[in-house]
Amino acid sequence: MLGNKKVMGDNILYYMNLHGIDRRDFAKAIGVPYSSLTDWINGNTYPRIDRIQMMADYFHIEKSDLVEARNLSKKTQARRIPVLGRVAAGVPLEMVEEVIDWEEVSEAVAASGAIFALQIHGSSMEPRILDGDVVIIHQQDDAESGDVVIASVNGDDATCKRLRKYKEGIELIPLNPSFAPMFFSNQDIAEKPVRILGKVIELRGKF
């Protein structure tokens, strides 16, 4: 497949920055050598169509958003969404539903369902998600084992953790090994209650 290598490189870099992911993490996520990704970003080589699809799937966009210049692609028109309240990434804190900032998401992401953003406070999701980072959430009441989710505990507390499902319950797992996982039995889930509020689909790293 032929294409404009510079446009491709600029678009890859744009979406990496949008998601707050660095080159090494992104290369690992899509299963390509770091050197290959660097060549694509620098416009030295052009990725195969299957690699373009893999990147598009990762970013939740269309292949055209990577292939075409952004000002020519309707899919890359941004939509502003509010950053609501604060979510703990350590000890759960009460979620305050107030607009503290604004973020932009692509039309493709906005069209995928109810989308909201929350700011992370705490260190339990380090080193991947840092204190002050913003996560973009797809609102849903369930998720797959291994997904990073926002969960409500006791009805009014929200926490960002990796979800692990078991027959007898669920576990909310921090990425930081200094923090202990939180296990909830099926009875806990019903009685506390414990609810999945949404799945993290993007990370906006703050520097």
Judge whether 73 counts as a catalytic residue: no
Which residue in 195, 198, 202 sits closest to 139, CA to CA?
198
The answer to whether the CB of 97 falls within 8 A of the CB of 83 is: no
| Token representation of residue 22 | 């660095």
Cα-Cα-Cα-Cα dihedral of 59, 61, 63, 65, to 10°? -100
Average pLDDT over the chain reads 84
**Active-site residue among 106, 124, 152, 199?**
124
- Whether residues 135 and 192 share a domain: the answer is yes
Write down which residue in 75, 105, 129 finishes a domain: 75
13 in Cβ contact with 37 (< 8 Å) = no
Number of domains in the chain: 2
Q: What CATH number does residue 25 fall under?
A: 1.10.260.40
Statement to judge: residues 123 and 200 lie in one domain: yes
Q: What is the pLDDT of residue 204?
A: 85
24 and 101 fall within a common domain: no
- The 3-state DSSP class for residue 121 equals strand
* Token duo for residue 25: 């993490």
Query: pLDDT band at residue 32, thresholds of 50, 70 and 90?
Result: very high
Task: Calculate the CA 175 to chain-centre distance.
Answer: 14
The span from the CA of 163 to the CA of 147, in Å, is: 6
Indicate if 63 and 116 belong to the same structural domain: no
Whether 83 and 184 map to the same domain: the answer is: yes
Confidence of residue 1 (pLDDT cuts 50, 70, 90): very low
- Between helix 23-30 and helix 34-41 the angle, nearest 10°, is 110
Q: Give per-residue pLDDT as tens, 39-92.
A: 999 889 999 999 999 999 888 888 888 988 866 444 446 777 878 776 655 544
Task: Say whether both 126 and 168 belong to one domain.
Answer: yes
Closest CA to 21 of 37, 42, 1, 45: 37
Co-location of 24 and 125 in the same domain: no
**Catalytic-labelled residue, pool 73, 106, 152, 161:** 161
Clarify whether residues 187 and 91 are in a common domain: yes
End-of-domain residue from the set 55, 75, 95: 75
40 and 108 together in one domain: no
User: Domain end: 75, 90, 114, which one?
Assistant: 75
DSSP E strands, the chain: 78-88, 93-94, 99-106, 115-121, 134-139, 148-153, 157-166, 169-173, 182-185, 194-204
Told to judge if 124 belongs to the known catalytic residues of this protein, a careful annotator would answer yes
Q: Domain limits at 189?
A: 78-204
37 lies in the same domain as 88: no
Task: For residues 25 and 113, state if they share a domain.
Answer: no
- Same domain? For 187 and 116 the reply is yes
